[in-house]
Amino acid sequence: MPTVILMDVSLSMARPVAVDGTEEYQRKHLAIHGLTMLLEHMATNYKLEFTALVAFSSLWELMVPFTRDYNTLQESLNNLEDYDKTCLESALGGVNSIVHQEWGASVPCQIVLVTDGSLGIGRGSLRHSLLTLNQRTESNRFPLPFPFPSKLYVMCMANAEELQNSDSLDCLEQLIELNNNEGQIFTIDGPLCLKNVQSMFGKLIDVAYTPFHAVLKCGHLASDVQVFPRPEPVILEEDTDPVPRTINTDLELVGFIEVADIASPPVLSRHLVLPIALNKEADEVGTGVTDDTEDDNSANQIAGKMPNFCVLLHGSLKVEGMVAIVHLGPDWFGMLYSQADSKKKSSLMMSLFEPGLDSVPWVGKLSYLGPISDAKENPYGEDDSKSPFPLQPKSKRSYAQNVTVWIKPSGLQTDVQKILRNARKLPEKTPTFYKELNRLRKAALAFGFLELLKGVADMLDRECTLLPDTAHPDAAFQLTHAAQQLKFASTGKPEHSVYDHNITPLQTDFSSSSSERL
């Protein structure tokens, strides 16, 4: 779950604070001290977290893009300069664009807003932004709620009494409400000092950055693991009395199933499963980093020589092509599997099914699954109805197939370029050309994107006019035929817009070997 640190660098953060009655600090210094504590904790216990640093006053600036290099974050944090007045709306809009560009709209993100509670003055102030919420249009809407799943944590360099006197607390609470009540406001208990700032950031760590440790069990084998990111509680809306469900710290494997049988089931979230060293000498491995490089290397060597069930399970699942079904809680299951990030690197992953026994529709009730040896007859025989446990149906489900999805303009551009590249290699690429053309046609009809069909048809007409004199005669016929069929589909008329219809190559006297094979 990526984190964005949104640091207020307005002039109000430069107000002095007497610390311990001797040395004078600014509120910005207290904030940097608290964030340093947070970054040190993440570098030790949450080092897989991607973190970005954004500074804001009347404008915002991305100081450090998403990274796992906590030294760079700390260095940039220490070099922040003071600027002008506070404008929180533009800063939240900046976070929106940064996260959307890097992660899209489906990845959950945590925003840590560090401010002194000053709302700014005049236009652009938070008070003015909240007062004009009902006067907004779609073009200048308020950034909250974020279009991606998020939690907003407001770290105030002020105590609750100071915020209440300035009416800042009500406005900050309204921010949390606008973010679908996802988040929390933290204030300093007592006077402003380093100790109380540490206590406030300690509460944030307890709420949002505590690592989830569990024990992975399979029979007599067990391994201490860390699940990253930490699984969030799940609330089922259909329950009469919704109660947040949390997964057990004892993750027990109840069986194994082939990848082909489980296919691609719907899941709530995906998590890395990392082994944790048990011996004292290798206590840092998998849970943090050490300050001494030599000690860190020796700890890794010791841990690498120790047998670990988590490593054994990962290698077995990868070689055998299977997944392990894991029991998460009452009537709640998930699966463990090997996922490759590249050709040489793979990781043990855990996906959480929706709570319930029917979370994988084509498998049936998970509680009915069992080994074949327990069956009176072979469940894969001719009479599947007498099988003691459910099996995947022979018909292929639509949601188990690859579908065309255009999330970013680059994806659509890539599909159009594939068609044009094959069009320039006709007639040798005739099968591939029509395959890509039909894939785009079906997607455009499914989305109602009829303008796309007209645009691609115009491109094919243009390619036809640009064919060289040495081009095969069949290329011009195929391009003209394909363009005409797309134009028919772009009209939206039922007789030309049949979804299951495929455009077939035009049979000509110049048919090449590739078209004959069709």
Residue 483, pLDDT > 90, answer: yes
CATH 2.40.290.10, applies to 212-235+246-396: yes
The neighbour count for residue 102, using CB atoms within 10 Å, is 15
The neighbour count for residue 478, using CB atoms within 10 Å, is 25
pLDDT score recorded for residue 396: 57
Residue 236's beta-bridge partner residues?
none
Q: Degrees (nearest 5) of the Cα angle 76, 79, 80?
A: 90
Q: Which architecture, in CATH terms, is 3-208?
A: 3-Layer(aba) Sandwich (3.40)
Q: What is the pLDDT of residues 284-309, one digit of tens each?
A: 333 333 344 444 444 444 445 678 89
C-alpha 180, offset from chain centre: 19
Any idea how long the chain is?
A: 518
Q: What is the mean pLDDT of residues 248-268?
A: 88
Tokens (6 digits) for 100:
């959307």
- Tell me how far apart the alpha carbons of residues 142 and 130 are, in angstroms, rounded to a whole number: 9
pLDDT score recorded for residue 518: 43
Burial call 246-266: b when 16+ CB within 10 Å, e when fewer: ebeeebebebbbeeeebeebe
Helices (H), 266-377: 293-305, 309-320
Phi-psi region of 180 (alpha: psi -120 to 50; beta: other; left: phi over 0): left
Residue 322, pLDDT > 60, answer: yes
DSSP letter for 345, please: -
Residue, of 276 and 60, whose pLDDT is higher: 60
% of the chain residues with pLDDT over 70: 84
Per the confidence metrics, is the pTM higher than 0.85? no
Q: What is the mean pLDDT of residues 396-417?
A: 76
- Tell me how far apart the alpha carbons of residues 470 and 322 are, in angstroms, rounded to a whole number: 53
Q: Which long-range contacts (CB under 8 A, 24 or more apart) does 501-509 make?
A: 502/434, 502/438, 503/434, 503/437, 503/438, 503/441, 504/434, 505/430, 505/434, 505/478, 505/481, 506/477, 506/478, 506/481, 508/473, 508/474, 508/477, 508/478
Residue, of 135 and 250, whose pLDDT is higher: 250
- Tell me how far apart the alpha carbons of residues 106 and 136 are, in angstroms, rounded to a whole number: 25
3-class secondary-structure state, position 216: strand
